[in-house]
Chain A
Amino acid sequence: MGIIRGQRSTTRLASLWRAYGTELVLLGAIGGVLILFSRFAPGMLTSNNLVTILRQMSFIAIAALGTTFIIISGRIDLSIGSTITVASTTMALLVTRHGVPSGVALVLPLLIGMTVGMANGFLTTKARVTPVIATLGMLVALDGAAKLIVGGETINGLPKVVTYLGSSKLGPVPVSVFVMLLVWFGVEFTLRKTSFGRYCYHIGSNEQAALLNGIAVDRYVTWFFMVAGALSGLAALILVGRLRSANVNIGVGLELQAIAVVVIGGGSLFGGKGTATGTVLAVALMAVINSGMRLSSINVYWQTAVTGALIVVAVSIDAMRRRRDRS
Chain B
Amino acid sequence: METAPLLEALRIVKNYPGVLALDKVEFSLERGEIHALLGENGAGKSTLVKILTGAEQPDEGEVLIDGDVVDISTPRKAQENGVAVIHQDVSLGLVPQLSVGENIFLGREPKCWPARIDWVALYSQAEEFLQRLKFNPEFLREPVGSLSLGEQQVVAVAKALSLNAQIFIMDEPTASLNSHETEVLFNTMRALSGDGVGIVYISHRLEEVLSCAHRVTVLRDGRMVGTVAVGTGVGPEEERTVAAQQSQIVRMMVGHDLAEKHPRSQPTPGPPALGLETVSGAGGRFSDVTMTVHEGETVGIYGITGCGSRELARSLFGLEPIQSGEVTILGESKSIRSPRDAISAGIAFISDDRSRDGLIGGRSVRENITAPILKSLTALGVIRSQQEVAVSRKHVSDLNIRTPTIDQLVRHLSGGNQQKVVFAKWLSSQARVFLFNEPTRGIDVAAKAEIYRLINNLKSNGAAILIVSSELPEVLGVCDRVLVMRRGSIVMELDPRATETTQARVFDIASSG
Residue numbers of A with Cβ under 8 A of B are 1-10, 193-196, 198-199, 201-202, 205-206, 208-216, 272-273, 325
* A–B complex contacts, Cβ < 8 Å, 27 sampled: A1-B402, A2-B43, A3-B417, A4-B403, A4-B404, A6-B16, A6-B19, A7-B408, A9-B18, A195-B375, A198-B367, A199-B374, A202-B371, A205-B360, A206-B356, A208-B356, A209-B359, A209-B360, A210-B371, A212-B319, A212-B349, A212-B358, A213-B372, A214-B340, A216-B340, A272-B362, A325-B362
Contact check, B383 vs A193: say whether CB atoms are below 8 A apart: yes
Partner of B361, one of A7, A10, A205, A214: A205
Q: Report Cα–Cα, A325/B317, bound state, in Å.
A: 31
Report whether B360 and A206 are in contact in the complex, using a CB–CB cutoff of 8 Å. Answer: yes
Interfacial chain B residues near A3, Cβ < 8 Å: 42, 402-403, 413-414, 417
Q: Judging by beta carbons under 8 Å apart, are B417 and A2 in contact? A: no
**Closest Cβ–Cβ distance, residue B357 to chain A (whole Å):** 5
**A194 contact from B340, B359, B383, Cβ within 8 A:** B383
Residue in A6, A202, A208, A212 whose Cβ sees the most chain B Cβ within 10 Å: A212
Indicate if B343 sits at the interface (CB-CB under 8 A).
yes
Distance in angstroms between the alpha carbons of A10 and B319 in the assembled complex = 39
Interface SS of A by simple majority: helix
Closest to B222 in A: A2
A11 CB, nearest partner CB in chain B, Å = 13
Whether a CB of chain A sits under 8 angstroms from the CB of B45 is no
Chain A residues, Cβ within 8 Å of B362: 205-206, 272-273, 325
Name the distance in Å between B310's Cβ and chain A's nearest Cβ.
15
Enumerate chain A residues within 8 angstroms of B342, measured Cβ to Cβ: 214
Q: Does B411 belong to the interface (CB within 8 Å)?
A: yes
Measured CB to CB, the residues of B under 8 A from A are: 16-19, 40, 42-43, 221, 317, 319, 338-340, 342-344, 349, 351, 356-363, 367, 371-372, 374-375, 378, 381-383, 385, 402-404, 408, 411-414, 417, 425
Given contacts A208-B356, A213-B372, contact A202 B367 (CB under 8 A): yes
Closest Cβ of chain A to B43, distance in Å, is: 8
B269 to chain A, nearest CB (A): 28
Bound Cα distance from A191 to B408, whole angstroms:
19
Which A residues are in CB contact (< 8 Å) with B16? 6
Known contacts A194-B382, A195-B381; A208/B402 CB under 8 A: no
Contact B360 A202 (CB under 8 A): yes
Specify the chain A residue showing the minimal Cβ separation from B359.
A209
Considering only CB atoms, which chain A residue lies closest to B401 in the complex? A3
Residues of B within 8 A of A10 (CB): 404
The contact of B381 among A5, A9, A194, A201, by CB within 8 Å, is: A194
Contact of A214 among B43, B359, B372 (CB under 8 A): B372
Residues in A neighbouring B43, C-beta threshold 8 A? 2
CA–CA, A293 and B432, complex, Å: 64
A281 to chain B, nearest CB (A): 22
Query: A4-B404, A7-B404 known; 14 other A-B pairs, CB under 8 Å?
Result: A2-B40, A3-B403, A5-B18, A6-B16, A6-B42, A7-B18, A9-B18, A196-B381, A202-B360, A205-B361, A206-B361, A209-B356, A212-B357, A213-B339
Given contact pairs A205-B360, A212-B358, A8 touches B382 in the complex (Cβ within 8 A): no
Q: Tell me the minimal C-beta distance from A251 to chain B in angstroms.
A: 31
CA distance A209 to B414 in the complex (A): 19
* Nearest CB of A to B364, in Å: 10
Chain B residues lying within 8 Å of A4, measured Cβ to Cβ, are 402-404
Nearest to A214 among chain B residues (CB) is B343
Q: Are B363 and A202 in contact, CB atoms less than 8 angstroms apart?
A: yes
Q: Give the chain A neighbours of B40 by CB distance below 8 A.
A: 2
| Complexed CA–CA distance, A212 and B19 (Å) | 36
Contact A195 B383 (CB under 8 A): yes
Q: A195-B374, A209-B358, A325-B362 are in contact. Are A214 and B413 (CB under 8 A)?
A: no
Chain A minimum-CB-distance residue to B221: A2
Shortest distance from the beta carbon of B429 to any chain A beta carbon, whole Å: 8
CA distance A194 to B359 in the complex (A): 20
Of chain B, the residue at the smallest CB distance from A6 is: B19
A26, B371: Cα distance in complex, Å: 31
B382 near A205: Cβ-Cβ < 8 Å: no
Cβ-defined contact, B221 with A214, below 8 A: no
CB distance from A134 to the nearest CB of B (A): 22
Complex CA gap A7/B40 in Å reads: 17
- Residues of A contacting B413 in the complex (Cβ-Cβ under 8 angstroms): 3
A320 to chain B, nearest CB (A): 15
Chain B residues contacting A193 (CB-CB under 8 Å) are 382-383, 385
Chain A residues near B375: list those with CB within 8 A. 195
Contact call B371/A325, Cβ cutoff below 8 A: no
Task: Give the Cβ gap from A2 to chain B, nearest Cβ, in Å.
Answer: 5
Q: A208–B357 contact, CB under 8 A?
A: yes
Q: With A194-B378, A198-B367 as known contacts, state yes or no: A210 contacts B383, CB within 8 Å.
A: no
State A4–B365 Cα separation when bound (angstroms). 14
| Whole-angstrom distance between the Cβ of A323 and the nearest chain B Cβ | 14
B361 partner residues in chain A, CB cutoff 8 A: 205-206
Q: Which partner residue on chain B sits nearest A190 by CB separation?
A: B381
Compute how far the CA of A3 lies from the CA of B372 in the bound complex, rounded to whole angstroms: 26
Residue in chain B with minimal CB distance to A7: B404
A198 (CB) vs chain B CBs: closest residue:
B374
Q: How far is the CA of A40 from the CA of B238 in the complex (A)?
A: 88
Tell me which residues across on chain B come within 8 A of A202, comparing CB atoms.
360, 363, 367, 371
Chain B residues lying within 8 Å of A214, measured Cβ to Cβ, are 339-340, 342-344, 372
